[in-house]
Amino acid sequence: MAIPINTLTKHLDEYHREIHGCIHTATEIMAQPALWRQTGALIEKLLPKLVSFWGPSSNLLFSGAGSSHYVGMSITPALKRVFSTVEAISSTEMVMDPESSFPREEFVLISFARSGESPETNAVISLAEKLRPGSVKHVAITCNPDGSLAHIVDGLGKRGFVIVLPEGTNDRGLAMTSSFTSMAVAGFMLRAVVHGDVGRYREKVDALANIGERFLNDFPEMASRMVREGFQRIFFVASRPCFGGALEAHLKVQELSGGEVMAKAEDTLGFRHGFMAAVNSESLLVILFSSDPYRRLYEIDLAKELRKKKMGKKIVAICNKREDIEGLADYIFQTDSAIDSDDDNRAMMVTLAGQIIGFFVALSLGLNPDAPSPEGVIHRVVSGVTIYPYSTSENKA
């Protein structure tokens, strides 16, 4: 059951805004845990056919543009533990340099898309067919059964497999929210293709949904306070395997603020390598603390350094236990430690934080979260991209 929308929208009064005009994004953010459970049930049902289609191939290549690329980045660490090779390359990059993108051995190309109308993602399928004939199978994970991606992959016959996620995942707002996280859930469950123990991964999805429900119930109040206090820049810091979620979080704030708030994502140890230079006195620093004791040591060291140097306006910690980080952050949000013990699950929490913070930032700027780009700079479906013919004769050894 979806969390009531007023769990999020009750905070709108603090900005004296009307709910009308921003209902889609709010609804789609709050519906996510219910949609994750539906997605888990769908993949469980499809698994026997998917295993039969998959065959022995253990090489995966994830394709997608923008948020859909970050889906692949979010799930790559987890899937690398069970498949031989896993790589996420943006479809925008693959179109520009397809020859270096595709493996030389048999592989499965998994294309993520909300609408299925991304010109680059759809072009990658044709390029793979041209450059690696007979060596590639295609899986489309999409939220739109009527999109071009679904039709293209379905048209490949025995070499194509289409997974259409539950209807509610096809967000109507500009920013991808439930579509992103639901595609990630579907991607996480692909591990069952190897292990076969789909029940194990359904349990992980249920645990994630339970964590997500608490997060969506409680975090909006904290996020609304952060936004009221104001900031000009925001940094999301997370360690692998949660870094893909941080990338998506930074994009949500940048999209939903119409570009008014500059956002950045970086990994924990990488943050010192030049990125700290961008932190000013009007910066919000959001750190996702790992549940892994080894990674957590590095995260605590970074938080201590930021505190010592008095960097940023506020530090926000998202963690499954707070005992060893008290005093290191201005805001500490603790998830349920009883079920929050898997960093694969926790990766989604930083994404939810970005969605919620971005939502309130849009309202504080007087923007409509469903269409926050007032001059139409960005759109729900990317357009204006010309795909040119690719000739293999142009390649050089």
Domain for residue 380, yes or no? no
Domain for residue 383, yes or no? no
User: What amino acid is encoded at 271 in this protein?
Assistant: F
Whole-number pLDDT of residue 341? 65
In a shared domain, residues 89 and 54: yes
How many CB atoms neighbour CB 331 within 10 A?
17
Domain for residue 389, yes or no? no
In a shared domain, residues 151 and 273: no
Spatial distance between the Cα atoms of 250 and 237, rounded to a whole number of angstroms:
10
CATH number at residue 168: 3.40.50.10490
8 A C-beta contact, residue 138 and residue 111: yes
In a shared domain, residues 230 and 188: no
Whole-number pLDDT of residue 339? 65
Whole-number pLDDT of residue 374? 65
Partners of 266 in beta bridges: 237
Read off φ and ψ for residue 379, nearest 5 degrees.
Answer: -130, 165
8 A C-beta contact, residue 234 and residue 283: yes
Spatial distance between the Cα atoms of 205 and 344, rounded to a whole number of angstroms:
10
Spatial distance between the Cα atoms of 194 and 201, rounded to a whole number of angstroms:
12
> Residue 87 is inside which H or E element, if any?
strand 85-90
In a shared domain, residues 266 and 359: yes
Domain for residue 180, yes or no? yes
Q: Which domain holds residue 49?
A: 31-196
In a shared domain, residues 163 and 248: no
In a shared domain, residues 121 and 190: yes
Spatial distance between the Cα atoms of 298 and 123, rounded to a whole number of angstroms:
41
In a shared domain, residues 226 and 192: no
User: What amino acid is encoded at 54 in this protein?
Assistant: W
In a shared domain, residues 271 and 319: yes
8 A C-beta contact, residue 119 and residue 387: yes
Read off φ and ψ for residue 63, nearest 5 degrees.
Answer: -125, 145
Domain for residue 17, yes or no? no
In a shared domain, residues 249 and 344: yes
> Residue 315 is inside which H or E element, if any?
strand 314-319
**Collapsed DSSP state (helix, strand, coil) of residue 279:** coil
Partners of 332 in beta bridges: 317
Cis peptide bond prior to 241, omega within 30° of 0: yes
Buried b (16+ CB within 10 A) or exposed e, 229-238: eebebbbbbb
Domain for residue 14, yes or no? no
In a shared domain, residues 48 and 185: yes
Q: How far is CA 49 from CA 43, 46, 158, 160, in A?
A: 10, 6, 12, 12
In a shared domain, residues 239 and 346: yes
**Token pair for 206:** 């249920």
Domain for residue 213, yes or no? no
pTM value is: 0.92
Whole-number pLDDT of residue 340? 61
Eight-state DSSP code of residue 13: G
Buried b (16+ CB within 10 A) or exposed e, 175-194: bbbbbbbbbbbbbbbbbbbe
Domain for residue 231, yes or no? yes
Chunked mean pLDDT (size 10), the chain, 397 residues: 54 45 82 96 95 90 97 95 94 96 96 95 97 96 97 97 97 93 96 86 90 92 94 96 95 94 96 95 97 94 96 96 93 79 80 96 89 66 78 59
Residue ending a domain, among 181, 196, 211, is 196
